[in-house]
């Protein structure tokens, strides 16, 4: 199954991508599923039901959580998470709650992920392909992946319809829910891909 793990809707003030267009066009981009990861919120739950939609698209709710030591895509029971946690406290909480975190665009020039986060095992999955990164920023992620034996994923970081599905993650198992997604990421049953088509 192919998912875009990193998508922002108009709930994020920086995004122009509306929920209706995601649902309508995701399939045309070769996507079986989409993760809505708006900044610091899971407000999407007030606008859409999570899970399999009428057209067969699987929608999973998460969020992109920003800290001074990097940004993280988090998936789990985090609808009411405070927005001022440090990276370490966030990642410890994610683990305690049975969720999963992905270090988002770890080598982006602005707000990169600090290396101690992966070196000390706080986060074991990196977004090695991000649709808004430069090629050089994406390539740098390979150094950490190899050095620290990290799992990897990919996401478009879409803020517009043109970006949706530009980068995706292929899962080696069916993903029909948030729990399935968490299990697949935790067990490294995934691989990042660039959209062809």
CATH number at residue 156: 3.20.20.140
Burial of 20 (0-12, 13-18, 19+ CB in 10 A): exposed
Interatomic CA distance for residues 184 and 132, integer angstroms: 24
Could you tell me the pLDDT band of residue 79, with boundaries at 50, 70 and 90? very high
What pTM did the predictor assign?
0.96
Domain hosting residue 110, numbered range: 2-194
Query: In the predicted model, what is the mean pLDDT of residues 5-14?
Result: 97
Q: What is the rounded average pLDDT of the residues 75-100?
A: 96
Give residue for tokens 């879409």: 158
For residue 184, CA distances in Å to 45, 133, 138 come to 22, 24, 22
Other Cβ atoms less than 10 A from the Cβ of 146: the count is: 9
Sheet with strand 190-194: strands edge to edge: 51-52, 58-61, 33-36, 2-7, 167-171, 190-194
**Measured between alpha carbons, how far is residue 73 from residues 28, 55, 56, 105 in Å?**
24, 25, 24, 10
196 confidence band (pLDDT: 50, 70, 90): low
Q: Identify the band that residue 98 occupies on the pLDDT scale cut at 50, 70 and 90.
A: very high
Cβ of 179: how many Cβ atoms within 10 Å?
A: 13
pLDDT category of residue 197 using cuts at 50, 70 and 90: low
Over range 43-48, report the average pLDDT. 96
Yes or no: say if 79 and 65 are a contact pair by the CB < 8 Å rule.
Answer: no
pLDDT at position 39 is 97
Q: How many residues does the chain have?
A: 197
* 179 alpha carbon, distance to own chain's centre: 14
Matching residue, tokens 């959209």: 195
Among 63, 66, 71, 72, which residue's Cα sits nearest to residue 35? 63
Question: What gap in Å lies between CA 181 and CA 5, rounded to an integer?
Answer: 10
Residue 102, both tokens: 């992905």
pLDDT over 70 (residue 93)? yes
* Predicted confidence (pLDDT) per residue in 138-179, tens digit: 999 999 999 999 999 999 999 999 999 999 999 999 999 999
Task: Give the chain's domain count.
Answer: 1
- Reading the block at residue 37, the tokens are 């990861």
Higher pLDDT, 79 or 194: 79
> Looking at residues 102-109, what average pLDDT do you find?
96
Arithmetic mean of pLDDT over the chain: 96
């Amino acid at each position: 199954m192919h998912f875009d793990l990193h998508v922002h809707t108009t709930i994020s003030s920086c995004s122009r991508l509306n929920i209706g267009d995601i649902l309508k066009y995701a399939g045309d981009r070769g996507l079986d599923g989409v993760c809505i990861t708006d900044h610091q919120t899971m407000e999407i739950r007030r606008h859409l039901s999570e899970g399999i939609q009428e057209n067969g698209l699987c929608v999973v709710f998460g969020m992109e959580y920003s800290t001074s030591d990097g940004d993280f895509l988090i998936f789990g029971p985090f609808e009411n998470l405070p927005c001022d946690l440090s990276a370490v406290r966030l990642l410890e909480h994610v683990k305690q709650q049975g969720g999963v975190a992905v270090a988002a665009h770890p080598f982006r020039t602005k707000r990169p992920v600090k290396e101690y986060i992966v070196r000390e095992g706080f986060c074991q999955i990196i977004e090695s392909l991000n649709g808004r990164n430069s090629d050089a920023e994406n390539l740098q992620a390979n150094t950490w992946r190899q050095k620290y034996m990290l799992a990897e994923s990919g996401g478009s970081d879409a803020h517009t319809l043109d970006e949706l599905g530009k980068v995706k993650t292929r899962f080696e198992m069916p993903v029909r829910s948030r729990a399935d997604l968490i299990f697949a990421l935790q067990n490294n049953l995934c691989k990042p891909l660039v959209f062809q088509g």
